[in-house]
Amino acid sequence: MTAQSPIRLKAAAVLASLSLLLSGCFITPGKFTSELQLMEQDRFAFTYEGEIFFLALADLAAMGAANDTFEANCWDQETFEDRECTPEEETEQRAEWEAGAEARAAKNAKEAEQMAAIMGGINPNDPEASAELVKLLLRQKGWNSVEDMGDGVFEVSYSISGSLSHDFMFPVIEGFPTTNPFVQMIMRDGNVVRVNAPGFAAQNEGGPMGPLMGGIPGMAGLASLSEGENSEEKVPNVPTIEGTFTIVTSGTIRANNTDEGSNPTPNGESLTWNISPRTKAAPTALIDMSR
């Protein structure tokens, strides 16, 4: 068996990591503005304007195709630099690659079936997958507009209002697992509201991508090293998280983790978090609405 260079092995690790990410159906914010209003008479209103990124719908098809195309590679054991394979080495590697064709096909089919099961029946390998997702979102209450921007990125306008009689979470998508919340509103006894926004912390372990949000750019670097700057084998173009999250309330703010605390508004007080790739702590607040 011919050994592969460390850089080639790192590139393979990139693809394996992305496969693991896909199994979780990760959803992350890009550029956005979001506001939660907690108002008198036990009412709330929530808005989200901006980008939402679906990793499963990113441009992974080309990566998968490249990974399933035979390419012999050899390296010098002294300098660790790539070199041209001999005919014998290429024949040996091709035989090994062809021997695994059936297993690769079965694995790809199983992963596609699993992904469709957690994406409301949408097969991410289907060319119409993005259009199907747009239809799915638009038929749900609150999704006022959804525009496919390509490569897994959607520009959305979402707004909804209701009573403070139940918990609330965004986003909730029919048929999708509720494991990647951007914002959670949890009702406690005594009309106290706990607000958490785990999806608005790029480096927070509880966020939708957790430590992998920092790892994807690193994987992109590995991919570029493996094939050069002109390589067609790239990791997804994950949009940069950047935006503001604001809470406006007529209630009493018991606790929050903003940098500067609350500010007065005509409707009570407001809390604002400026979100960037450097944001470590997820926005959180505890608000008493009993007064």
* Domain limits, the chain: 6-288
At residue 232, the pLDDT reads: 43
β-pairing verdict for 242-249 and 27-39:
parallel
The rounded distance, in Å, linking the Cα atoms of 269 and 245 is 14
Count of positions (residues) in the chain: 291
Provide the whole-model pTM: 0.75
For the record, the structure tokens of 31 come out as: 């550029």
Count the Cβ atoms, other than its own, within 10 Å of residue 150.
11
Q: What is the pLDDT of residue 115?
A: 73
pLDDT tens-place string over residues 155-199 = 999 999 999 999 999 999 998 887 779 999 999 999 999 999 999
Q: How far apart are CA 96 and CA 85, in angstroms?
A: 15
Residue 243 burial (CB count, 10 A): 21
Q: Is the dihedral of CA 239, 241, 244, 245 positive or negative?
A: positive
What does the block give as tokens for 123?
């097969």
Q: Spell out, as residue ranges, where the chain has pLDDT lower than 50.
A: 1-7, 9-11, 13-14, 16-17, 20, 22-24, 61-62, 205-234
Instruction: Kindly state the tokens that stand for 217.
Output: 């750019």
* Cα–chain center distance at 3: 34
Residue in this structure with the two tokens 């024949």, named with its chain if needed:
91
- Asked if residues 25 and 118 have their Cβ atoms less than 8 Å apart, the reply is yes
Strand partners, 287: 193, 253
Q: How many helices (H) and strands (E) does the chain have?
A: 6, 14
Per-residue pLDDT, 247: 98
Please name every residue paired with 247 in a beta bridge, in sequence order, or none if there are none. 36, 271
* Predicted confidence (pLDDT) per residue in 47-73, tens digit: 999 999 988 887 654 455 555 678 888
- SS3 string, 181-201, reads CCEEEEEECCCEEEEECHHHC
